[in-house]
Amino acid sequence: MPRLSGRVTLATVAATAGVSVATVSKVLNGRSDVSESTRARVQEILRAHEYVGRRPEQVERITVELFYQGFLNTYSVEVIQGVVEAGQVAGVDVVVGSHPPASRGTGRAVPWIRQMIANGRRAAIGITCELTAADLAALSRARLPLVVVDPVSIAQPDVTSVGSTNFAGGMAATQHLLSLGHRRIAYCGGPPSSGCNQARMNGFRGAMEAAGAPVPKEYVWLREFLYEDGLAGGEALLDLPEPPTAIFAGSDETALGVMEAARARGLRVPEDLSVIGFDDTQVARLASPQLTTVRQPLREMGAVALRTALQLAAGEKVDSHHVELATRLIVRDSTAELARVPVS
């Protein structure tokens, strides 16, 4: 086998062997989850380029940057854990960092993108982040692949992203409340510009329309997916002249805020108010009562994002720019039949 000229990188070896960079990394680190034929082919190329005999710490490691904007919450922590665990399996390093909101104005690379490039990152993964056209152009010029988990902007369909079946989850949550006899159901959700929020809210509206249940304008309250916003939204909804008997919250943290707003008004959950969340993070199980919610496979979403980023870094094509994993309704103790709600 002829030697390649110039500095040989793992990407060079991967391209020559016709495999991903992650597969080469697994062979170098002695991982068992590689077929014998692939292992033999990669090892032959490694020997030809004098990789044999190098210690693992001397071998070029693939590094992926995982970034988020704003504050970490229980949702973000679950996704991060999924990315990190998948990185361990793939034999790559994952660096977690917080980056400022989207840059404005010039099309030049913003500092944090330049820093990723200078640090030798092979790909980037963003969690519920907002990126401008200038940011995306800078990443494209740098040939730094990007995968976003639950992108904030709904106007960037070409960005490779991973999410869940938010519309179906929104319908399932609302249908559950309808099946319990509720008709005065409100939605307390996240930012209007958020793609996942739009899908959950549209699922809510679709289920309500199919049931012939009206949704007054004041029954939809949108801000962020945070506890404080759920508290404020719960206060606004429960102070209406005709308050809802059930509230679908766009996240588990939002749901906990709604539950606190109910408690502060002397209302019991679920006897006086049914509350349902979205995500199924740890707080859903720690809540009192335990929270009925829609489960997103958050760790698997993180793992899929990592595997997709590695594919793109290796120059491989992905089957779809957007992958949606299935959601599932988890019924616990925070929802009840309307018949149990006392008549005032």
User: Please, what are the averages of pLDDT over each run of 10 residues along the chain (344 residues)?
Assistant: 55 82 78 82 78 47 87 90 94 85 51 81 88 79 89 70 96 98 97 92 98 97 96 98 98 98 98 98 96 98 96 88 95 89 45
- Contact residues for 1 (Cβ-Cβ < 8 A; gap 6+): 44, 45, 48
**Amino acid 107: pLDDT:** 45
pTM for the whole structure: 0.79
Confidence (pLDDT) at 43: 83
Q: Give the other-Cβ count within 10 Å of 275's Cβ.
A: 29
Do the beta carbons of residue 67 and residue 139 sit within 8 Å?
A: no
d(CA 226, CA 250): 9
The reported pLDDT for the residue numbered 8 is 63
Q: List the structure tokens of 193.
A: 């510009």
Residue 203's pLDDT is what?
A: 98
Residue 108 is predicted with a pLDDT of 47
